[in-house]
């Protein structure tokens, strides 16, 4: 028999064995995508999403890490990005409504979404008003109920610290310390907060990466229609209509109505077991209850507790490996550093 023919047949058998589980192909055909493995992969996804981004460098990410943990970017000198997006707590704060300057709860009763994998969202903020992480980073710094630091004061604070001035000059050249560059550096660090999971291994062809129960949950997740909003690389992160079939039972908590068209950013389901409470106003603490509520509100169907538990098994597989973060040593304040205002 022709040896070339034999090799061709063997190759076809091998390829077939890699996609032996039809659920893998069904998940991918439904729009689910594995996380990128490096920054080039991140940039490809951002390009596909039409999201702008600046050049990535390790030096810029390291500077951004310092700024992410920098409490002096807040007027009080005690709140940093990590306060509400705690990297040790799934990238959230674990409370219903974010607490900011003077320990005031968010006036709209909005819950802090996770920062992990957030670079891969096509929209930022619950109302989608920012398209990039850099634009998003500016908002909390300036917002009075959050860090309460006007852009000019933020620049003044960072410019008073020679170590930062030197780093900004090295990375950004003549422009140095500007509010745009502060936000860009923070966003660059946040680009590194990618959390690959067993589910990504499954999408890449490892059918044993998910247990039988988790695969049953994925099947139900697709069949029930959850995939309609929770799709793409982040299983969420895009703007979607809310309260399509029924009213959300906790809609009265806070005054948030979405954007001008009533659209709301769909939260990512990655690491969802670590990011309770759920929904934009943090009103539901049980993932099983959240799944059932979404069935009613978005799909107009009844999802039983048993079905929700099966879907929850799949969602557990989205808990990913976190990057190792070493808490940075920050520059010492100088006589020129503006004093904190409590």
State how far the Cα of 23 lies from the Cα of 327, in Å rounded to an integer: 41
- What is the sign, positive or negative, of the torsion defined by CA atoms of 169, 170, 171, 172? positive
Report the run of H or E that residue 141 belongs to, with start and end: helix 133-142
Structure tokens at 304: 């039983």
- Cα distances (Å, whole numbers) of residue 221 to 28, 63, 89, 153, 242: 13, 40, 26, 47, 18
State how far the Cα of 320 lies from the Cα of 2, in Å rounded to an integer: 47
Give φ, ψ of 110 to 5 degrees: -95, 140
DSSP states of 18-71 as a string? HT--HHHHHHHHTTB-PPPSSHHHHHHHHHHHT---PPP-HHHHHHHHHHHT-G
Tell me the β-bridge partners of 240: 264
State how far the Cα of 294 lies from the Cα of 303, in Å rounded to an integer: 9
State how far the Cα of 207 lies from the Cα of 27, in Å rounded to an integer: 12
146 is catalytic: yes
- Which of 26, 144, 146, 163 is catalytic? The answer is 146
The catalytic residues are 146
């Amino acid at each position: 028999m022709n040896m070339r023919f034999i090799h061709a047949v063997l190759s076809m058998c091998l390829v077939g064995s890699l996609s032996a589980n039809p659920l893998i192909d069904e998940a991918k055909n439904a729009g689910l995508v594995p996380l990128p493995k490096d920054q080039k992969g991140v940039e490809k996804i951002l390009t596909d999403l039409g999201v702008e981004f600046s050049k990535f460098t390790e030096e810029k990410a390291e500077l951004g890490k310092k700024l992410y943990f920098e409490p002096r970017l807040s007027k009080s000198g005690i709140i940093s990005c990590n306060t509400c997006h705690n990297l040790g707590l799934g990238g959230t704060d674990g409370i219903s409504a974010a607490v900011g300057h003077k320990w005031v709860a968010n006036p709209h009763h909005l819950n802090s979404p996770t920062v992990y994998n957030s670079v891969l969202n096509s929209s930022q903020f619950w109302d989608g008003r920012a398209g990039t992480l850099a634009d998003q980073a500016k908002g909390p710094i300036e917002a009075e109920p959050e860090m309460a630091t006007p852009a000019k004061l933020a620049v003044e604070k960072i410019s008073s610290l020679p170590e930062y001035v030197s780093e900004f000059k090295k990375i950004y050249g003549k422009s140095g310390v500007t509010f745009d560059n502060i936000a860009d550096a923070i966003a660059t660090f946040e680009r590194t907060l990618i959390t690959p999971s067993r589910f990504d291994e499954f999408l890449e062809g490892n059918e044993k990466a998910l247990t039988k129960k988790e695969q049953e949950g994925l099947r139900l997740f697709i069949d029930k229609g959850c995939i309609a909003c929770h799709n793409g690389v982040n299983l969420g992160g895009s703007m979607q209509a809310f309260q399509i079939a029924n009213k959300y039972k906790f809609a009265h908590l806070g005054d948030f109505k979405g954007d001008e068209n009533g659209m709301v950013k769909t939260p990512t389901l990655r690491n969802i077991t670590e990011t309770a409470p759920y929904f934009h106003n943090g009103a539901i603490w049980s993932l099983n209850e959240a799944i059932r509520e979404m069935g009613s509100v978005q799909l107009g169907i009844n999802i039983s507790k048993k079905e929700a538990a099966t879907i929850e098994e799949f969602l557990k597989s989205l808990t990913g490996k976190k990057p190792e973060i070493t808490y940075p040593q920050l520059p010492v304040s100088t006589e020129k550093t503006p004093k904190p205002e409590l």
